[in-house]
Structure 1
Amino acid sequence: MERKEFLKRGFSALGLAAIIPVISCSNDTVDPTETATETGSTSGSTSGSTSGSCTITASETEGPFPTKSPSSLVSNDITSDRQGTKLTVKITIQNKNNSCEGLEGALVDIWHCDAAGNYSEYGGSGMQSTNYTSVHFLRGRQTTDANGLVTFTSIYPGWYSGRAVHIHVHVYNASGKSLLVTQIAFPEEISKVVFAQGVYASHGQADTTNARDNVFGDGVSTEMSTVTGSASAGYELTHAIVVSA
């Protein structure tokens, strides 16, 4: 089955539990003790809920390419050997239950595709023909500082058919309990500039807008990032994710 068709049909036939891998514990890192309760399909988001001045960030599916062992990928620079426009990712985790103050000590995992639309840790099947099962590029974990901030160095994500440009994020508390699985959306005007140059050019422009995306189609009010910079100098993404902790 092609990836685009898989995404159109959603995960109803599989269930999220079928694709979330078992993650082992280690002595110096914390792995999730609970997985997200999200079992919906990629046909839409779970809308953010509002409490006081905070709006919980919308939850999304983790699949179909979640990180298999996030505790082994603690790193600021997740670029590996991938070529592309430099992207600095700054994510602030805020706690709805504490007046949206930054949440210190949260574990933040991110992952996204490369310039050609491929994910590491997967491949060799109809979902992704290129086999990258033995590598781990563009995946990483960080722990939030006193302000709730984590920073990653990466490249601007590419795209694949049926999906708008995005980054996956899974947030846990310090004990490893899952707080939120979500995705970060990108301003389309900047993506168009990026995809017209460099290693992105041969892949062309994204075939799916945020409005027509099967995840973001119901709105990106809590998932849209702010991206500044240039294709020549690189970009900086800033985004706040609100969880209930």
Structure 2
Amino acid sequence: MTGRGIVFAPGRGARPGAWLPPPEEATPEELERCPFCVGREDRTPPETLRIGDPWRVRVVPNLYPAFDRQEVVVHSPDHVRCFADLGDTQIASLAEAWQHRIDAAAADGFGYVHALINEGRLAGSSLPHSHSQLVVLDRVPPPVAAEDRSALDELLRHDDLRVLERNGAVAVIHYAGASPYESLVLGGTLADLLGALRDLVGRVRKAEGPFAWNAWLHATDPQHLHFVPRLTALAGVELGAGLYVNVVPPERAAEALRG
């Protein structure tokens, strides 16, 4: 699917410093200053979309964009820090917001929207209030265009790596994951995918405690989500040689999350 080299080395998981620290706990200052909480709508740029009245999900332009058109999707009016703590109504509203903005970008002539979630500072998030980002691009990114669709079918044939199913969506541990518990979520509607991702995050949190993670949507046929926990650090062998050391073999990861 990716052409990357993977080395499974479970023994390295026992070495000092093998695991990254968990996200910091919320502080009173964080709660007082969060611009995404309800009642502080004036602290963000004017919204481009609001789901619900009162709102359940808001979409606003990114205040510090790296691209010409980049939006932030606020997942809840309450100060929810972990995606796993969102309820079904919030997940459905999030899916509605993503789809609405993806359709709007297509209507404006853009070629692709890269929808992503960064949770935790180690995953690149600057604010702990649960949110996602929509990066609007002129064309489909090369990694998305180059993805081998047959590899998705191959992954689904690994019944031993399936960890959960939800309304037609299935979460599967990647048989060649570059990091512990790396997974794909496939099948069903966008709301089904996001709901399964929510449940998957919760299971990893139960197994390993609070953690940082990234996920992104490949809006292809079939659409699917990539999920990458940030439990271990990339070092010189990964960055320089393209060989990724994973300390949790896929079968062991699947067993831990099914329990």
Q: TM-score, normalised by structure 2?
A: 0.25
Q: Which has the larger radius of gyration?
A: 2
Greater helix percent: which structure? 2
